[in-house]
């Protein structure tokens, strides 16, 4: 972007002067400064000046079909790449449509910056056309938000937004931009130095706490590492593996922590919690030292709190001090970035033979393995299992929310960080399809699969159009059981099989996909499943595979609400 040469020397080290630029031009300059590679969103009246600048921009724009889709695409892009996802929506309904996507990213600590248009600053509060109190609506579902009312503050505010989004415990930041701020010219050189006196994330762990934690681990006979998404966010998976291997410490992960350890490792226990593996849950209930890293003791993980890990000293490593001792009282808190703390802790971890403990866990593993029947209907677990094998456990997999999400978590076989893209905290149905598209944009050379349920897919499948338009070869695998399956499972187990409002008839998704311009495939016979998956993976471009699965299959193990992890219902696995 060429700036007007006025004859006066540039005022700072930042390069050519930005004095006299419009707000939209400053906005664009800041995006270039931040290295933004792609923006998702939908145009509208209040963001026209911004799009006028994007028209000639080197930053490509992806027009989604719904703002929720744009937000989930930015989210999927961010989770799969570690970079900040960026989305734009217009004022009023555009902004409120972003809300679900912001709340999803907020609960799962995903770095995102959302820009929304706003009515002219002097009209705010007059109930103007497409006016909504966007900062008011999104305040509790963002890490930070603000409205820019003076063009002089625009550059700095955008700089701050990216900084806040990606540092500390990451999260979404929303910047609301009144039309006049983007239209007007900045009369002075815009200030771009962040000014955040109240924002100082604590990244460096306290040495004494690190030593105390290491001593507690060294003294433990039966330690377990309980690892959440924070380890992946911090890029600390390798450090975690080093600690686990040095101390012979088994590792269980939360849904968002999957891939922090390679599940091929003998130390990997897979997922814990409500639908965790029996051996992970029994190990947590039996451990004498639970080492939580980048996890937050969510109720889906702990089950009944007063029976959770009853014999354990609890160590909690987390960058967010507010996560510590929120749900579970912690014996050794260590506040800081896992990438700082884990390598420093490694030095103090003593190599220790824990083969008796590992053998005990192995017994549980052999006694209660994850398994499924292979007769009659196609079992959803087998679909995931085969997909894992056929993609060498190396694809990026997004999911919706529900039974299929849990089967994906249990059966895919996670190998590396940033591989599973799933809404854990908020549990946002409809997340899978757009998040997979966002992940594909960020990872053009990877196979990206959306393992979806018919309920979740129905909510946002319009974004298959976006995949078609921008030639993103996502494979959408829809596990259709004619129900909102997880709810049906709860009704079966806890509501006397009164199947209220849960039947979910679907159209021929393959035909819909063809109508959208994607390839549509369908399979309902188990004997044809392997071929259908192979064809799906080998077909160029976006493919929707409609899989008719057993409508009555339940997810096991299951820890009922109010029960301890050791009281899990093993169902068919027992």
Q: Is 102 in the site for other proteins (CB under 8 A)?
A: no
Stretch that binds other proteins, among 139-147, 273-281, 338-346, 515-523 (CB under 8 A): 139-147
Q: Which is nearer to other proteins, 43 or 146 (CB)?
A: 146
| Of the candidate residues 139, 150, 367, 572, the single one contacting other proteins (CB under 8 A) | 139
Q: Is 198 in the site for other proteins (CB under 8 A)?
A: yes
Q: Is 194 in the site for other proteins (CB under 8 A)?
A: no
Q: Is 121 in the site for other proteins (CB under 8 A)?
A: no
Structure tokens at 282: 């029994």
Rounded Cα distance between 331 and 313, Å, is 6
Question: Which residues, 151 to 170, sit near other proteins by CB under 8 A?
Answer: 164
Structure tokens at 532: 């259908």
Q: Which is nearer to other proteins, 153 or 550 (CB)?
A: 153
> Do residues 434 and 73 make contact, with C-beta atoms less than 8 angstroms apart?
yes
Please report which helix (H) or strand (E) contains residue 365, including its range: helix 355-367
Q: Is 140 in the site for other proteins (CB under 8 A)?
A: yes
Q: Which is nearer to other proteins, 196 or 574 (CB)?
A: 196
Q: Is 65 in the site for other proteins (CB under 8 A)?
A: no
DSSP conformation class of 218 = H
Q: Is 371 in the site for other proteins (CB under 8 A)?
A: no
Question: Which residues, 299 to 358, sit near other proteins by CB under 8 A?
Answer: 320-322, 325-326
Residues 6+ apart with CB under 8 A from 306: none
Query: Closest Cα to residue 94, out of 184, 185, 36, 179?
Result: 179
Site string for other proteins, 467-496 (x = CB under 8 A): ------------------------------
Q: Is 135 in the site for other proteins (CB under 8 A)?
A: yes
| Of the candidate residues 16, 136, 310, 515, the single one contacting other proteins (CB under 8 A) | 136
Query: Closest Cα to residue 63, out of 345, 368, 468?
Result: 468
Q: Which is nearer to other proteins, 314 or 549 (CB)?
A: 314
Q: Is 146 in the site for other proteins (CB under 8 A)?
A: yes
Residues 6+ apart with CB under 8 A from 392: none
Q: Which is nearer to other proteins, 172 or 542 (CB)?
A: 172
Q: Is 534 in the site for other proteins (CB under 8 A)?
A: no
For residue 129, the tally of other CB atoms under 10 A from its CB is 10
> Do residues 63 and 136 make contact, with C-beta atoms less than 8 angstroms apart?
no
Q: Which is nearer to other proteins, 58 or 197 (CB)?
A: 197
Rounded Cα distance between 387 and 381, Å, is 10
Q: Is 150 in the site for other proteins (CB under 8 A)?
A: no
271, β-bridge pairs:
253
Rounded Cα distance between 501 and 485, Å, is 11
Shortest Å, Cβ 85 to other proteins: 19
Residues 6+ apart with CB under 8 A from 440: 396, 446, 448, 467, 472, 473, 474
Contacts with other proteins, residue ranges (CB under 8 A): 135-136, 139-140, 143-144, 146-147, 164, 196-199, 320-322, 325-326
């Amino acid at each position: 972007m060429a700036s007007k040469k006025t004859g006066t020397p540039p005022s700072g080290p930042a390069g050519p002067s930005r004095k006299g630029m419009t707000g939209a031009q400053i906005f664009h300059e800041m995006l270039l400064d931040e290295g933004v590679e792609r923006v998702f969103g939908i145009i509208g009246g209040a963001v026209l000046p911004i799009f006028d600048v994007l028209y000639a921009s080197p930053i490509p724009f992806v027009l989604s079909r719904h703002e929720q889709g744009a937000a989930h695409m930015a989210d999927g892009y961010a989770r799969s790449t570690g970079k900040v996802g960026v989305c734009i929506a217009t004022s009023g309904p555009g902004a409120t449509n972003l809300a679900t996507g912001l709340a999803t990213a907020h609960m799962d600590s995903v770095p995102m910056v959302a820009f929304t248009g706003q009515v002219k600053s002097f009209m705010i509060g007059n109930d103007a056309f497409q006016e909504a109190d966007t900062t008011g609506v999104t305040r509790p579902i963002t890490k930070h938000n603000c409205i820019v009312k003076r063009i002089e503050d625009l550059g700095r505010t955008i700089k701050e937004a990216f900084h806040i989004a990606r540092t500390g415990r990451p999260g979404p930041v929303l910047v609301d931009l009144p039309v006049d701020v983007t239209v007007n010219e900045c009369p002075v050189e815009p200030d771009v130095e962040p000014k955040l006196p109240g924002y100082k994330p604590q990244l460096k762990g306290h040495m004494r706490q690190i030593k105390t934690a290491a001593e507690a681990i060294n003294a433990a006979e039966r330690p377990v590492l309980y690892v959440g998404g924070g380890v992946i966010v911090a890029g600390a998976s390798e450090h975690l593996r080093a600690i686990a291997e040095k101390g012979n410490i088994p590792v269980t992960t939360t849904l968002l922590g999957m891939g922090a350890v390679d599940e091929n490792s003998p130390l990997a226990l897979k997922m814990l919690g409500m639908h965790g593996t029996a051996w992970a849950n029994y190990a947590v209930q039996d451990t004498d030292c639970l080492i939580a890293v980048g996890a937050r003791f969510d109720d889906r993980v702990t089950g009944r709190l007063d029976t959770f890990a009853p014999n354990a000293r609890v160590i909690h490593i987390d960058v967010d001090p507010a996560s510590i001792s929120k749900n579970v009282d912690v014996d050794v808190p260590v506040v800081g970035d896992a990438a700082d703390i884990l390598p420093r802790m490694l030095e103090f971890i003593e190599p220790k033979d824990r083969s008796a403990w590992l053998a005990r866990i192995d017994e549980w593993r052999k006694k209660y393995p994850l398994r499924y029947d292979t007769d009659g209907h196609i079992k959803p677990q087998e679909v995931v299992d085969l997909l894992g094998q056929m993609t060498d456990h190396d694809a990026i997999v997004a999911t919706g929310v529900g039974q299929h999400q849990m089967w994906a978590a249990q059966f895919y076989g996670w190998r590396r960080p940033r591989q599973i893209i799933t809404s854990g905290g908020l549990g946002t149905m409809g997340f899978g399809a757009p998040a997979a598209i966002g992940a594909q944009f960020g990872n053009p050379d990877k196979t990206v699969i959306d393992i979806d349920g018919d309920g979740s897919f129905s909510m946002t499948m319009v974004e298959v159009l976006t995949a078609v338009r921008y030639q993103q070869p996502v494979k959408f695998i829809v596990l259709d059981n004619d129900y909102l399956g997880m709810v049906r499972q709860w009704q079966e187990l806890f509501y006397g099989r009164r199947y209220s409002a849960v039947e979910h008839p679907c159209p021929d998704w393959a035909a819909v996909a063809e109508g959208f311009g994607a390839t549509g495939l369908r399979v309902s016979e188990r004997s044809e499943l392997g071929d259908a998956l192979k064809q799906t993976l080998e077909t160029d471009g976006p493919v929707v595979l409609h899989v008719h699965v057993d409508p009555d299959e339940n997810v096991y193990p299951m820890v009922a609400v109010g029960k301890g992890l050791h009281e899990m219902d093993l169902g068919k696995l027992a």
